[in-house]
Structure 1
Amino acid sequence: MSGGPTKEARTMSALDGAVVAVAGAAGPAGRATLLRLAEAGATVVASDADAARLAEAVDAARYAHGGATVTGDTVDLLDLDAARAWADRTEKEFGRIDGLVHLVGGWRGSASFAKTDLGDWDVLEDLLIRTVQHTSLAFQEGLQRSDRGRYLLISAAGASKPTAGNAAYAAAKAAAEAWTLALADAFRKAGGEEGPSSAAAILVVKALVHDAMRAERPSAKFAGFTDVKELAEAIAGVWERPAPEVNGNRLWLTEKP
C-alpha cells in the first residue's frame, strides 16, 4: 500500500514554505484544498464566514498532516477593511504571502429567463463579485512582493456560455473573471520587461462533486463535474508553472463550452 508523499518529495514542492490564504475554506472544495496545500508543505491561512465549519476544516488538515501549520480566521469578506486586515495580519505573522485561493461561492437560478428573480443578483453580487474585489484589493501588494505570488479564482463554464435560467449566476461569474483578469494585467505591468513574478488565473469547472454528493445520489453520473480533490490538485499545480505562463489565463478543468 502506498503512503503519502515523503519528506523529500515535499521539499521539492514549489509550495514548500509558501504562505497561502484560502477564502471560503469551510466547504468541501475548501477542505480538499487545505489538505492538498498542507501536504505540499505550505503554511495555510484559512478563512470562512462559518466559524464552526472552518474550525472543523482546519482541524482535519492539521490532523492529516502532522506538523503542518494550518490556521483559521473568521473574516467578513464583504467588508474591505476586514479583508485588508486579514491580509496585513497574515503577512505580518508569517513574513510573506504567496497565494490567495478564492473559493467563496453560491448559486441561484430560475426556471426560465423571464422568471429570473433580481433578488438573486443582489445575493450573487455580494458572494461572487464583492468578495473577489475585496480579496484581490487586499492581497495584491503582498502577492506582488512575493517571487511566487498567485491569485486563483474558481469559476464556472457557464460564465462563458450562459443559459436562460442562470442569467444572474453567469453574469456574476463573468464579472468576477473580468475583475481577476484586470488584476492579472496589474501583475503584468508590475513585472515590466522581465515579465510578471506573480500571477492571477482562473480555474474553470462545470461544477464540483464530492464524496457526500455521490453517497446521496449513487445513481447520478455527474458528467463533466470536477471532483474537489482534482480541483485541489490543479490549484497546487499552478505553483509548479511559471507566472507568465498562467497569468491572465483561464485554466480549464472541463470541456470548453
Structure 2
Amino acid sequence: MNGNENGVLGGAVVAVAGAAGPAGRATLLRLAEAGATVVASDADAARLAEAVDAARYAHGGATVTGDTVDLLDPEAAREWALRTEKEFGRIDGLVHLVGGWRGSASFMETDLADWEFLEKLLIRTVQNTSLAFHDGLLRSPVGRYLLISAAGASKPTAGNAAYSAAKSAAEAWTLALGDDFRKAGGEQGPQAAAVILVVKALVHDAMRAERPNAKFAGFTDVKELAEAIAGVWERPAGEVNGTRLWLTEKP
C-alpha cells in the first residue's frame, strides 16, 4: 500500500455495495490506496471479480475482497454485515453505490413498472444495508454510511418522476439514519455519520472515449467522486452527519 496508511482510513474496514461499475472501481482503488480493507459486493459476480482484482493489482498488499450479495434480501444483507465485522474485527463504513435509471419522454408516459424496479434498486437496498450495518457503524469510532444521490431528487423533471421519487426517498431514509446517529451520540455529538453525496450524473474515461465531443457539463468524474468519498472520513462526524455534500451545482 502507498499513500495514506496513517490517515483515518488506514486500517479501516469499508464495505462497498454496487462495487462493480465505474464508480465502484474508482472507489475500491481510492480506498485501497488509503490503506483501508475493502469489502465489495455486487450482483454481477464476473464484473465484481474484475474490479476487485484491479484494486488489488494497483495497490499490492491491499486487502480487497468481493462477494455477491442479494441486497434485496434483508437477511443476506445482515449476514454480509455480521460476517464482515466478525472476519475483520470492525466495520467502519458502508458506501452505497447501487444505482440504475429508468425514465420516459413525458410524465404521462411514465411506466409504473419502472417505479417498481427503481423502488427495489434504489430504496430497498438502502433500507437493507443501513439496517444491517447500523450497529457495527455505531461500534466504530469513525463509522460512516454514504449514499450517492442525484441532483434530480431535489428538482424532479417530468420524465424522471419514478427515478427522482426513488432517489428522494433514499435520501430521506439516509437522513433519518443520520438523526439516529445524532441521538445515539448524545451531548457529545455523533460518532457515526450518514452522508449524502449529490451528483448531477457521473462520467468516466470510457464515456469520454465514446463521445469525444461531448462536454458532460456538470457531471462528476468517478475519480472525483471516489476522492470525495474518502474525504468524508477526514471530517468530523458532527460536521457531516445528516448533510448533503454537493459535487455539482444545486439545481
TM bucket normalised to smaller:
over 0.9
Pair 1:18 & 2:25 matched: no
- Alignment root-mean-square deviation, CA: 0.8
Give the equivalent residue in structure 1 for 2:65.
71
Q: What residue identity is the alignment partner of 2:226?
A: A
Pair 1:240 & 2:234 matched: yes
Q: What residue identity is the alignment partner of 1:239?
A: W
Q: Give me the TM-score of the superposition, normalised by structure 1.
A: 0.97
Q: What residue identity is the alignment partner of 2:155?
A: K
Distance (Å, rounded) in 2 between the aligned partners of 1:191 and 1:10: 28
The SS at the match of 2:61 is coil
- List per-residue Cα deviations over 1:97-130 (Å, max 9, x = no partner): 0000000000000000011010100000000000
Give the equivalent residue in structure 2 for 1:203.
197
Q: What residue identity is the alignment partner of 2:172?
A: A
Pair 1:213 & 2:207 matched: yes
Question: How many percent of aligned residue pairs carry the same amino acid?
Answer: 86
The SS at the match of 1:41 is coil
Q: Give me the TM-score of the superposition, normalised by structure 2.
A: 0.99
The CA deviation at 1:11 is 3.0
Give the equivalent residue in structure 2 for 1:133.
127
- List per-residue Cα deviations over 1:157-204 (Å, max 9, x = no partner): 000000000000000000000000000001000000000000000000
Distance (Å, rounded) in 1 between the aligned partners of 2:187 and 2:119: 36
Give the equivalent residue in structure 2 for 1:253.
247
Pair 1:82 & 2:76 matched: yes
The CA deviation at 1:50 is 0.4
Give the equivalent residue in structure 2 for 1:228.
222
Where structure 1 has 5 or more consecutive residues not aligned to the other structure, the ranges are 1-5
Give the equivalent residue in structure 2 for 1:48.
42
Distance (Å, rounded) in 1 between the aligned partners of 2:8 and 2:102: 37
The CA deviation at 1:10 is 1.8
Where structure 2 has 5 or more consecutive residues not aligned to the other structure, the ranges are none
Distance (Å, rounded) in 2 between the aligned partners of 1:230 and 1:126: 27
The SS at the match of 1:67 is coil
Q: What residue identity is the alignment partner of 1:208?
A: L
Task: Report how many aligned residue pairs link the two structures.
Answer: 251
